[in-house]
């Protein structure tokens, strides 16, 4: 069994923002970083919530979901180990406009109080630079996803999302329910069944009882639209060069 991290210990080698920090900056943050697990479907923020803690995942990923007046939900962004969840906490008292929930669970995550987060940003140092670049990258990926959802075919969009999930999870096998895919694509569940079946018959994935297996990554990349490459490049630029070694 894997050893559980002690409270205050960070998966700095897993979260790319923490890994990119200079050693002195990281050591200053460390007392404020508390280990936490992110179980599947846990709601981190509801619309109207003020963010009390930000999260830096070292695995899995979180979905940011727009909730419409009739209760329908559509995913507008995903955040994994490349970023930080709750970045709106940079504005004290700001109320979240969306629902944020865990879509791929992980026990590799740290949380940081919003007040400590703002104090570190006020230093205008390396942490500020990384968070600013991530925020710009997140806006860029949301813009690309908006264009993708408007003009690209649904099977291309599903292939793009599966590739993104594969990158973040780091495993070929992971849970994926039709309910979530329908929310992510803004499509009806019968449509999801058809699209997933198309990818499965082509030998790209297998999908059964809420579990998906990536069978042919290269073919899945070919089946995706340009948006996967565009959004990946945006987020890769956030942390820049390879992480610096800790002193």
Is 131 exposed, middle or buried (CB count within 10 Å of its CB: 0-12, 13-18, 19+)?
Answer: buried
Count of CA atoms in the C-beta half-sphere (13 A) of 98? 17
Domains of the chain: 16-115 (2.60.120.10), 152-232 (1.10.10.10)
Q: How many CA atoms lie within 13 Å of 188's alpha carbon, on the beta-carbon side?
A: 3
pTM here is 0.86
Contact in structure between 231 and 137 (CB atoms under 8 Å): no
pLDDT tens, per residue, the chain with 247 residues:
333 443 444 445 689 999 999 999 999 999 999 999 999 999 999 999 999 999 999 999 999 999 989 988 888 889 999 999 999 999 999 999 999 999 999 999 999 999 999 999 999 999 999 999 999 999 999 999 889 888 999 899 999 989 998 998 888 988 888 788 887 777 788 888 888 899 999 999 998 888 899 999 999 999 999 999 999 998 888 876 433 333 3
Q: How far apart are CA 52 and CA 223, in angstroms?
A: 40
């Amino acid at each position: 069994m894997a050893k559980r991290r002690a409270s205050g210990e960070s998966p700095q080698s897993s979260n790319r923002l923490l890994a990119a920090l200079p050693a002195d900056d990281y050591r200053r943050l460390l007392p404020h970083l508390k280990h936490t697990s992110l179980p599947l479907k846990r709601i981190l923020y509801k619309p109207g919530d003020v963010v009390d803690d930000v999260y830096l995942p070292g695995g899995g990923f979180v979905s940011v979901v727009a909730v419409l007046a009739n209760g329908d939900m559509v995913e507008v962004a995903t955040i994994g180990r490349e970023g930080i969840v709750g970045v709106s906490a940079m504005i004290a008292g700001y109320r979240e406009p969306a629902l944020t929930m865990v879509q791929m669970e992980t026990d590799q995550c740290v949380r940081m109080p919003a007040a400590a987060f703002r104090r570190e940003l006020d230093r205008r140092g390396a942490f500020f630079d990384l968070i600013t670049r991530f925020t710009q990258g997140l806006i860029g990926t949301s813009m690309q996803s908006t264009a993708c959802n408007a003009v690209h075919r649904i099977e291309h969009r599903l292939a793009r999302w599966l590739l993104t999930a594969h990158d973040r999870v780091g495993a070929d096998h992971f849970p994926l329910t039709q309910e979530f895919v329908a929310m992510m694509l803004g499509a009806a569940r019968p449509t999801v069944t058809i699209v997933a079946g198309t990818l499965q018959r082509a030998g790209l994935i297998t999908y059964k009882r809420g579990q998906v297996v990536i069978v042919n990554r290269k073919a899945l990349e070919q089946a995706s639209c340009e948006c996967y490459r565009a959004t990946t490049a945006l987020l890769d630029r956030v942390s820049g060069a390879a992480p610096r070694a800790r002193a």
